[in-house]
Structure 1
Amino acid sequence: MTAAFETHRARLCDGAIYNGLWMMSTSAELATIGAATGFDYVCLDMQHGYIRATDIVRLSDAIRAHGPALVTARVAANRFTEIGMLADAGIEAVIVPLIDSVADAEAAVRALDYPSRGGNRSWGATADILTGSVRDSRAERPLLFVMIETAEALASVEEICTVPGVDGIYVGPADLAFAVGAVPGRPNDAHAEALLRIRSAADAAGIVPGIHCADGAEAKLREEQGFRFITSASDIGAAARALRQDLDTARA
């Protein structure tokens, strides 16, 4: 990994607050804007967004060319081949959804670690070949965030957070709402208690507590609650709000 990546790892270990941009579109222009604006990370969403494997290198290059943001991606599922593909492509932090158990978390860790580190990742120097800088990368791996968003995950969150190789958790509040009998966007007391339990488990394990937010106002609230890796805007959400605001202003 690059020196910039090691700086990100050190900052997160030291307790830094990271505000991120969530990319659902395949727009390199919006990725450029996000990086240039100064977001701490830009995440490429392959689960619910429109981004696919063929978009990863182009969007990653757009992010890196315009700022020091941590290049992050969420895979569609906890599958060995997809996780390894992102690592091969030079993604610096991988978010894995629907981690329900210790076994699920351990499988994600193994997909990122080479056999020399106890994993089963297959060596593929895709990103290095593009730049002609192939090197021994057996000691390197992206940061790993596992998603806590189901009733099963919540029941095992303390154990999941202590799995060696897990660098952080990332809460999906909407799916977590379903898991505790709430409705997305209309949280109840059980939802608030679940968020506190998850954040406390991450803190106790010494890993980074992360969470998905719809906008900056929600992100500020989650920061006050102790979360540190916080998606604070999404490309299509922010664009839709800005377009509506300009249109409403024009028509007023």
Structure 2
Amino acid sequence: MANRLKQIWASGKAAVNGWLAIPSGFSAEVMAGCGFDAVTVDLQHGVQDYLSMVQCFQAMSAAPVTPMVRVPWNEPGIIGKVLDGGAWGVICPMVNTAREAEAFVQACKYPPRGTRSNGPIRMVGYGTASDYQAIANDETLCIPMIETREAVENMEAILDVPGIAAVYVGPSDLGFSFGLVPKLDREEPDILAIYEKLLREASRRGIACGIHCGSAAYAARAIRMGFRLTTILNDSGLMALAARTAVAQVRKDAEGLV
């Protein structure tokens, strides 16, 4: 029951993360077989719900990927429920202060570290004994999102909260909070400086940094910068990108017949 994503980070490598907005076990199965190290079900901005999350996890189980979830908000009920349902990592949006980060960790961890209720319905063998509760606090990943001006101002205090395994940058909301157009692959010097500081401060504390990217090229660049988890769009975005590219190629090569 070891967390493969933790193993990748411990080896000094970075990981590539898939992102599921489509509530379909079939598309999750396809994505999980595409070479990603981890795959995240998005309960915040995707059109997933809890049951579709479970179906996605079931479909992904044949592939060597770490299943994760982005929860809708920093609320202990849904955090505990996604962990019970099969998540090995939880990405939490809009964590702006150390107090909010501590509340997030508390919701993710069993006593004595936290307040998570015991009932890991899918994380134990059905009707059999399991050591899940003994290893869960060490193996499950708490990943708060850094995506606002307030979170940047409180960066060091958030990173100092015990139990945080990584932080995840939401470039769209981060830029938005600084009065910029919301988008993923950012080039503004002030935003890049925030990335540099975050990478430096996180590295000092042994914490990984993740970031959501709009292209494979930017994801590779982010890894070279020091990010240890990069997400490329999401399933619906990748599907649309491939479809647009294919249709445009047909129209280009059909010599005016379409």
Report the TM-score when normalising by structure 1.
Answer: 0.92
**Residue 183 (structure 1) aligns with:** 181
CA separation in 1, counterparts of 2:177 and 2:187?
11
Structure 1 stretch displaced more, 12-21 or 86-95: 12-21
1:40 to 37, 40, 60: 37
Secondary structure of the equivalent of 2:18?
Answer: strand
| CA RMSD of superposed structures (Å) | 1.6
**Residue 81 (structure 1) aligns with:** 77
**Residue 29 (structure 1) aligns with:** 26
Note the C-alpha offset of 1:133: 3.3
**Residue 12 (structure 2) aligns with:** 15
CA separation in 2, counterparts of 1:221 and 1:184?
20
Note the C-alpha offset of 1:125: 2.4
1:222 aligns with 2:217: no
Give the direction of change, closer, same or farther, for the CA distance of 1:8–1:188 in structure 2 (3 Å limit).
closer
Note the C-alpha offset of 1:198: 1.5
Query: Are 2:57 and 2:67, in contact at CA under 8 Å, matched by a contact in 1?
Result: yes
> Aligned residues: percent identity?
34
2:104 to 103, 108, 119: 108
Secondary structure of the equivalent of 2:246?
Answer: helix
CA separation in 1, counterparts of 2:20 and 2:41?
5
CA separation in 1, counterparts of 2:58 and 2:14?
24
2:163 to 165, 171, 194: 165
Note the C-alpha offset of 1:31: 1.1
**AA partner of residue 75 (structure 1):** V
**Residue 195 (structure 1) aligns with:** 195
**Residue 126 (structure 1) aligns with:** 121
Query: Are 1:173 and 1:211, in contact at CA under 8 Å, matched by a contact in 2?
Result: yes
CA separation in 2, counterparts of 1:39 and 1:158?
30
- Output one character per residue of 1:192-231: Cα deviation in whole Å (capped at 9) or x when no partner: 1111111222111111111011121111121121101110
Give the direction of change, closer, same or farther, for the CA distance of 1:35–1:243 in structure 2 (3 Å limit).
same
**AA partner of residue 172 (structure 1):** G
Structure 2: which 5+ runs fail to align?
253-258
Secondary structure of the equivalent of 1:21?
Answer: strand
Structure 1: which 5+ runs fail to align?
none
Note the C-alpha offset of 1:103: 0.5
Query: Are 2:212 and 2:233, in contact at CA under 8 Å, matched by a contact in 1?
Result: no
**Residue 239 (structure 2) aligns with:** 239
**AA partner of residue 213 (structure 2):** C
Query: Are 1:177 and 1:187, in contact at CA under 8 Å, matched by a contact in 2?
Result: no
CA separation in 1, counterparts of 2:113 and 2:125?
27
**AA partner of residue 146 (structure 2):** I
1:56 aligns with 2:53: yes
CA separation in 2, counterparts of 1:215 and 1:20?
12
**AA partner of residue 121 (structure 2):** T
Q: How many residue pairs are counted as aligned between the two chains?
A: 247
- Output one character per residue of 1:8-35: Cα deviation in whole Å (capped at 9) or x when no partner: 3222133221011111111222211111
